[in-house]
Structure 1
Amino acid sequence: MGWFNKLPGFVRSAPGWEHRVWRRLPAVGWWGTVLPLLIAAGLHLMAPDRPADAPLDPTLLHWDYLLFGVVVLHWTLVLTLAIACFIVRVMKGPAYVADAYPLPKRPGE
């Protein structure tokens, strides 16, 4: 006996919005990571030169932390969307039948 017995006569649901979102998630994740990094690189290139012994520019450091937070937030949103799409795709997949489990008889029956 196999582990997965498909339900006979089950009709699979057509893919919907979850399929389109699932396919775009890698590109969305990549662009959402690269764009803030490019912005940070641009800010560092446009910042005025400072002597080697000078302290870090607090405004530039603030932007670095802000853009790092944007990247981490973006990753969590993409991961949440990926989990939701995965769940919908699994639920739309083929149906399986579990093994029969005979219930025990009640006393007096």
Structure 2
Amino acid sequence: MSWLNKSPRSIRSPSGWEWRIWKKLPLVWLVGTLLPVAMGLVAWWSVPAEEGAPLDPEVMRFVFVMVGVVILHWTLVLTLAIYCGIVMLMKGPTYMADSYPLPDSDRPL
């Protein structure tokens, strides 16, 4: 006896945009992470630092904005991955669990 049984009348919906997006997500995540990190590092290293002198506030602000952009990008990619997973799950076959007789049903057994 299996845990879940496929419904005999179950049909699978054809795949759509979710698989195309799902396959591109690792590349989107990588490019969207590396580009702001590279921009922040270039800004950080472009300012000549003197011994004991604080870094330029404009450069610090730009680096913090790039960190925020990376975190925002990660949350957007994660949200899109969850969306694709839900759509793929909902387009799959229908499964039925075993019936569960209710003890307080309206009609007796």
| Gapped regions of structure 2 (runs ≥ 5) | none
Cα distance change on mapping 1:107 and 1:86 into 2, 3 Å: closer
Give the C-alpha shift of residue 44 in structure 1.
2.4
Q: 1:18 to 1:107 in 2, by over 3 A?
A: closer
Q: Would you say 1:96 and 2:100 are equivalent positions?
A: no
Query: Runs of 4 or more off by more than 4 Å in structure 1?
Result: none
Give, as a single letter, the amino acid of the residue that structure 2 aligns with 1:25. Answer: L
**Counterpart-to-counterpart distance in 2, 1:79 and 1:17:** 17
Q: Percent identity?
A: 49
Deviations 1:36-82 (A, max 9, x none): 011112212332x1311111211110011000000000000000000
- Determine whether 1:4 maps to 2:4: yes
> Structure 1-normalised TM-score?
0.89
Runs of 5+ unmatched residues, structure 1: none
Partner of 1:67: 66
Distance 1:63 1:31, change over 3 A: same
Partner of 2:34: 34
Could you say which residue in structure 1 is the equivalent of 2:79? Answer: 80
Tell me the C-alpha RMSD between the 2 structures: 1.9
- Distance, in Å, in 1 between the alignment partners of 2:95 and 2:64 is 48
